[in-house]
Amino acid sequence: MVSSKLNPGRRISGFPEIHLVLAYSSQLVQDLKLALSGLKKRYKDNFPSMVSVVTGPGRTTDIENTLVMGAHGPKELYVFMIDDATE
């Protein structure tokens, strides 16, 4: 998830064809519900005005029922994880 509270602000809502993500293992959660509750906890009364969920390539079919990959969002998504877990 990305939000308007990040340095790029609302510009992050437009994704490039290839999207690279650098994330920490401590940022991983099991589902979207936990991600949203984490945002609520972090920002309390100052919730971001924009929150976006980044996924892989979108797919859709046109009026002739032809499958189109990458119609929405990045065509390629690469996630680089940094293990910051404390033992």
In the prediction, which pLDDT does 80 show?
Answer: 94
Tens place of pLDDT per residue across the chain (87 aa): 777 666 554 555 566 778 888 889 988 899 999 999 988 898 888 888 888 787 777 777 767 777 766 566 677 888 899 999 765
CB atoms within 10 A of CB 46: 8
Q: pTM of the prediction?
A: 0.61
In the prediction, which pLDDT does 83 show?
Answer: 94
- Which of 81, 80, 74 minimizes the C-alpha distance to 19? 74
d(CA 69, CA 74): 10
Residues in contact with 38: Cβ distance below 8 Å, sequence separation at least 6, in sequence order:
29
In the prediction, which pLDDT does 72 show?
Answer: 66
Q: Is 35 exposed, middle or buried (0-12, 13-18, 19+ CB in 10 A)?
A: middle
In the prediction, which pLDDT does 37 show?
Answer: 92
